[in-house]
Amino acid sequence: MPSAVRCCHRGRRQGHMNLKEFAQAIGMSQTTVSRALSGYPEVKPETRQRILKLADELGYHPNRSAAGLATGRAGAVGIVLKEATGFDPNTTEFMAGLGTRLETGQIDILITVVDNEAGELAAYRRLAASKRVDAVIVHTPKTGDGRMAFLKALGMPFIVHGRGVEGEGYPWLDIDNFGAVHRATSYLLQLGHRQIGLINGARGDVFAEHRLAGYRKAMKDYGISAPERWIVHGPFTDDVGYRATQDFLALPDPPTALLAGSMMTALGVMRAVRSAGLALGADISLIAHDDVFNYINADNMVPTVSTTRSSMREAGARIGDLLLQMLSGRDISKFSEIWPVELVLRESTCPPPVNR
């Protein structure tokens, strides 16, 4: 089979093979190939990966123009980012997974940058009126979020990256933020820590509220009512991590362990700990979230950093799969999925110092 495929490839210019010819070349049915490229879950993962690999080798790409004329679709999905918070390593990882997956279906991504929530709604209205995209991705849902109802009223298909509302008739994908922070906090408590600081996301963001609830529940399980001075909310940046840790260490009852909402925040925590003349993993413990970046590797830090882990790139790819299913006509309005989060223990966690 592989030799026959390569022979067919040599005799044909890349990009001019149609679905029927591609299916014949790899010895599969058109239905299987079409469903695999459209992200249908009935296709086994190994079969989908094989088809994607062969499509890349043969230079096969669905004819986007013909498909657009036949279906009336734009061949693109949209995502609206707020300028202040939209560009960070998490977004980069997510877009990498999303873009790679959508490319298999020749679907483009249209990114719109706005200043505020009013600008975001206006952007959705423009996208719906112009018909430049077939669906949009709503990210970072908030408590009482009105964007989903707004998009429904516009008749714009969408999927939510983050926790949606059960039974509201739209698809969403999220990680178990409550469970991740509850487990991390519980582990620190088991080590003997009783003063634990949390550097969380912005208030009102659903993921941050779930993380806060997981933290409070774990502390309550040990009979501890965590004061507000042990909790900081803000964007996930090195500066926020640095300043929050400085403030924590200046308290009369400073935390002996910290939970950082991202690896970027953790970099600031580590810098502040060193500046204070303390040793991470000895004088103070740290657990960070999201050690999934190639350029910020928790295993290469000194000391290595304990983390909760969930791949943003894989989440992007999964949402890409769901969008391809949606655009192929499949009803995924009742879809919801919550991914577990792994706790990876390294050198930055230890029992609290004896004198504390």
Alpha carbon distance 254, 235 (integer Å): 22
Which H/E stretch holds residue 347? none
Residues 98 and 205 in one domain: no
Token reading at 352? 């609290």
Count Cβ atoms below 10 Å from residue 274 Cβ, excluding itself: 11
Does residue 356 form part of some domain? no
Q: What is the residue range of 79's domain?
A: 74-175+312-339
Same-domain pairing of 16 and 41: yes
Quote the pTM value.
Answer: 0.80
Average pLDDT over residues 129-135: 94
- Over 70: is that where the pLDDT of 19 sits? yes
31 and 140: one domain?
Answer: no
- Mean pLDDT value across residues 108-133: 94
Residues 298 and 320 occupy one common structural domain: no
Looking at residue 14, what is its pLDDT? Answer: 44
Pairing of strands 158-161, 172-175: parallel
Give the domain CATH number at 104: 3.40.50.2300
Residue at 326 is within a domain: yes
pLDDT: is 158 or 86 the higher one? 158
Cα 259 to Cα 265: distance, rounded to the nearest angstrom: 10
197-220 confidence digits (pLDDT tens): 999 999 999 999 999 999 999 999
Which two tokens mark 214? 């997981």
> What are 84-96's pLDDT values in tens digits?
666 777 888 899 9
Burial of 161 (0-12, 13-18, 19+ CB in 10 A): buried
Q: In the prediction, which pLDDT does 48 show?
A: 80
- Any domain includes 344: no
What is the distance between the alpha carbons of residues 148 and 124, in angstroms, rounded to a whole number? 11
CATH of residue 42's domain is 1.10.260.40
Q: Taking a C-beta distance cutoff of 8 angstroms, is the pair 305, 284 a contact? A: no
Q: Give the per-residue pLDDT at 250.
A: 97
Find how far residue 284's CA is from the centre of its chain.
29
Residues 56 and 137 in one domain: no
pLDDT (0 to 100) of residue 46: 82
Question: Do the domain assignments include residue 23?
Answer: yes
Q: What is the pLDDT of residue 44?
A: 81
Q: Percent of the chain, pLDDT > 90? A: 67
Structure tokens at 227: 């004061």
pLDDT value at residue 11 = 38
Q: Which of 240, 341, 337 is nearest to 290 (CA)?
A: 341
CA dihedral 141, 144, 147, 148 (to 10 degrees): 90
Smallest CA-to-CA distance from 197 within 267, 249, 252 is with: 249
| Domain-located, residue 346 | no
Percent of the chain exceeding pLDDT 70 equals 89
Cβ neighbors of 129 (< 8 A, separation 6 or more) are none
Task: Indicate the burial class of 7 (C-beta count within 10 angstroms; 0-12, 13-18, 19 or more).
Answer: exposed
Mean pLDDT value of segment 27-45: 77
In 70-221 the beta strands, taken as DSSP E runs, fall at 76-82, 108-114, 135-139, 158-161, 172-175, 196-200
- Chain-centroid distance of CA 106 in Å reads 22
The number of domains in the chain is 3
Residues 102 and 140 in one domain: yes
